[in-house]
Structure 1
Amino acid sequence: MTEVRLRAVTAGYGREAVLDEVDLVVPTGTTTAILGGSGSGKTTLLRTVAGFLRPLGGEVLIGGRTVAAAGTWVPPERRGVGYVRQEGGLFPHLSVEGNIAFGLPWPRRRHRDRVLELLDLVGLPAELADRRPDQLSGGQQQRVALARALAPRPGLVLLDEPFSSLDTALRAATREATARALRATGATAILVTHDQGEALSFSDQVAILGAGAIRQAAPPRVVYGEPADVEVAEFLGDAVLVPGTARNGRVECLLGTLPVRGYVPRGAVTVMLRPEQITLTPGGTGRLDATVRSVAYFGHDAVVELELDGSGLAEQVRARVVGLQPPEPGERVGLDVAGPVRAFPAAGRTSGSDDVRPEASPVVPVPVPAPRVREARQP
């Protein structure tokens, strides 16, 4: 059971703190993605959990054991942690087998079986065992690095942007192979990334890190659909933001009177919805009418910039539509909003005691996989 828990962790370099009293829980057997911009403290957090960096304050617990706190320090090699770097970090003078088996604590005669088991686990053919790293593709090298991290059966695997140097197709295939391998071993994992799509698709929990603090940590659907504030909403994906007024558990704005998901502040608000919530119909047959000003085509989808009739708000209302047959610039369309929106107090205004929560969305816990039965045989 390898739960990871950070309690009021402050960490940095010298006297400069990068993390400021961070609290975070990664449940056993789940994957948490740490998502943030450059300089937000993502790698600092990962290095603190790994033991490469001593925290300035707070506690780090792995599997219920305190590994870092005032007066307590467990070195990295005794934390039972596997670490996969961005560039893989394979030893160029060793074969694939030599890299994977490096540091295994059991007799050498058992290494080959474990190496072949791991190659199969990460989706690589057995014949690669005798090749050198420079004879592998980038995606193959990253899978070997993952296999090496998994070789001693760690309870926790840390992934420091391991897919960022790969091209799009290779990144997706390597990410899927990594997710399958982690599920098969039952290891707890923490992924550091700056890729929003990667964080949402790969993890059971997404933790948004900004200015050295966790802004929100929740399952992907909750973080995306119910962001904690405007900054999180804009960071995690494309967001449509319009002014409005909240009353009686609903908001009124240029898109109409709309239901609100979760907490509803009264009075002036900023209304947030995702572009895919705006649906379009040809010829202006929706609840509202609009004119298409521009279309950005991406193949699988398209982002349509709209001007509502009489609003004068060109380029402030965007819809995301399927890319098969997007509308053309100048075309008239009807517009509807699907599903509830989010509402935040308008700039310069704080929430008050008269704010309400109509049918607030339930708290969705991070899913914890059922216990896996591990093989009794140990090398």
Structure 2
Amino acid sequence: MSPVRSPGAVEVHGITASYADTRVLTDVDLVVPAGTTTAVLGGSGSGKTTLLRVVAGFLRPDSGEVRIGDATVVGPGTWVAPEKRGIGYVRQDGGLFPHLDVAGNIAFGLPFPRRRHRGRVLELLDLVGLDASLADRTPDQLSGGQQQRVALARALALEPDVVLLDEPFSALDTALRESTREATGRALREAGATAVLVTHDQEEALSFADEVAILREGRFSQVAPPREVYGAPVDAHVAGFLGDAVLLPGDADAATVHCALGTIAVEGAHPTGAVQVMLRPEQIIVVPAADSTLLAKVASTTYYGHDAMLDLLVTGDDTAYGSVEVRSRVVGTSVPNAGDVVGLRVTGGARAFALTS
């Protein structure tokens, strides 16, 4: 039985795409449920922008199918032009027309005469968190964050089922990036749009999206909700790519793993025998040396204000593992100094990966 399709859902099946003789995507599958946001996260050259271009219709794939809601827009013998796909597109630089004011930019795709759409323009400005007084300004009179919000308002003007966002926050400074991202998320939710965000920023993907799709060398390594891809990565590469990861040699049985940090419960399916153990730095808790039998020397500290990262040298009694280096994330109000000896304990379970991961 065919699945029930929800209007606005994006479905990509078996997409292979190339530039000249260079293959970029290989047999890619992705389903974005209606009304949700998926972040496609990958490094430079992973194929994330190519995937967005295929969905938007800016690039014809070598093979595969793309569906937008109930309509097939790419498939054998099928090609729907970009302007007929019902998609809103927000570029990295916003792409506003410099010769038009804010109102003209937002109303650009609406029927003539555009002056009749003043009410819709003001509604959209409010939706993206901008004051109505900005309607008559030109793009060069706006901040970078304001320009990106106007670009989003323009993308939402025609009430598209799907909005594609191509690294729209990457050119903004830290404070503007966060506020603009939050405003964009609210606007998309209020509009009920399905969104696909392409980004190389792990924090952005985790905080913005309902699901995160990790793209590596033209294939998806893992597609899951943010807490799952961070807390339960499928392999060591995903673990390291999606934040700081402590990777140690160890030996696993059915329920636990033994490593230089002791015997730790293992979560999820895992191999037994010699494995690679993964913990997040926040799982390694620093305590007074007198309160733990597991001791470490602070090699260095990196202070961020709200928290700090400690590089620690653990010299355990277990000669099978010897001295190991680990990292611990601690709150910024309690940061030991380099050279201090501290105690350690591990909270939560570890992940265990095959040594070939």
TM-score (ref. length: structure 2): 0.95
Counterpart secondary structure, 1:32: strand
Aligned to 1:70: 76
CA contact (8 A) 2:37 2:211 kept: yes
Aligned to 2:4: none
How far apart are 1:105 and its partner, in Å? 3.4
Deviates more, 1:46-55 or 1:327-336: 327-336
Match of 2:232 among 226, 232, 249: 226
What pairs with 1:102-141 in structure 2 (closer than 5 Å)? 102-105=108-111, 108-141=114-147
Aligned to 1:255: 261
Counterpart secondary structure, 1:58: strand
Aligned to 2:107: 101
How far apart are 1:286 and its partner, in Å? 2.5
Match of 1:330 among 331, 339, 342: 339
CA contact (8 A) 1:280 1:286 kept: no
Question: Which runs of 4 or more aligned residues in structure 1 lie more than 2 Å from their structure 2 counterparts after TM superposition?
Answer: 105-110, 309-314
Distance in 2, matches of 1:328 and 1:284, equals 17
Residue identity matched to 2:259: C
Distance in 2, matches of 1:160 and 1:11, equals 18
Aligned to 1:352: none
Counterpart secondary structure, 1:346: coil
What pairs with 1:1-379 in structure 2 (closer than 5 Å)? 1-105=7-111, 108-310=114-316, 313=323, 316-347=325-356
CA contact (8 A) 2:260 2:322 kept: no
The verdict on how the C-alpha distance between 1:26 and 1:106 changes in structure 2, with shifts beyond 3 A counting, is farther
Distance in 2, matches of 1:63 and 1:57, equals 20
CA contact (8 A) 2:104 2:114 kept: no
CA contact (8 A) 2:315 2:323 kept: no
CA contact (8 A) 2:68 2:85 kept: yes
How far apart are 1:13 and its partner, in Å? 1.5
Residue identity matched to 1:22: V
Residue identity matched to 1:165: A
CA contact (8 A) 2:108 2:114 kept: no
Counterpart secondary structure, 1:179: helix
Counterpart secondary structure, 2:117: helix
**Corresponding pairs, count:** 347
Distance in 1, matches of 2:116 and 2:292, equals 68
How far apart are 1:309 and its partner, in Å? 2.7
Per-residue displacement from partner, 1:118-158 (whole Å, max 9, x unpaired)? 00011111011001001111111000000000000000000
Residue identity matched to 1:153: E
Counterpart secondary structure, 1:248: coil
Residue identity matched to 1:341: A
Counterpart secondary structure, 2:313: strand
Per-residue displacement from partner, 1:303-343 (whole Å, max 9, x unpaired)? 111111346535x2110011112111121211111101100
Distance in 1, matches of 2:22 and 2:77, equals 21
Per-residue displacement from partner, 1:177-212 (whole Å, max 9, x unpaired)? 000000100100000000000000000000000000
Distance in 1, matches of 2:174 and 2:150, equals 19
Deviates more, 1:283-292 or 1:62-71: 283-292
| Alignment gaps of 5+ in structure 1 | 349-379
Distance in 2, matches of 1:287 and 1:191, equals 46
Distance in 2, matches of 1:242 and 1:276, equals 15
Deviates more, 1:56-65 or 1:12-21: 12-21
CA contact (8 A) 1:46 1:158 kept: yes
CA contact (8 A) 1:284 1:290 kept: no
How far apart are 1:107 and its partner, in Å? 5.3
TM-score (ref. length: structure 1): 0.89
The verdict on how the C-alpha distance between 1:271 and 1:45 changes in structure 2, with shifts beyond 3 A counting, is same
Distance in 1, matches of 2:121 and 2:348, equals 50
Residue identity matched to 2:281: P
| Alignment gaps of 5+ in structure 2 | 1-6
Q: How large is the RMSD of aligned CA atoms in angstroms?
A: 1.3
Residue identity matched to 1:251: V
CA contact (8 A) 1:11 1:18 kept: yes
Counterpart secondary structure, 2:323: coil
How far apart are 1:110 and its partner, in Å? 3.5
Per-residue displacement from partner, 1:9-46 (whole Å, max 9, x unpaired)? 00121232200000111111000001000010010000
Per-residue displacement from partner, 1:216-246 (whole Å, max 9, x unpaired)? 0000000001111111111111000000001
Counterpart secondary structure, 2:291: coil
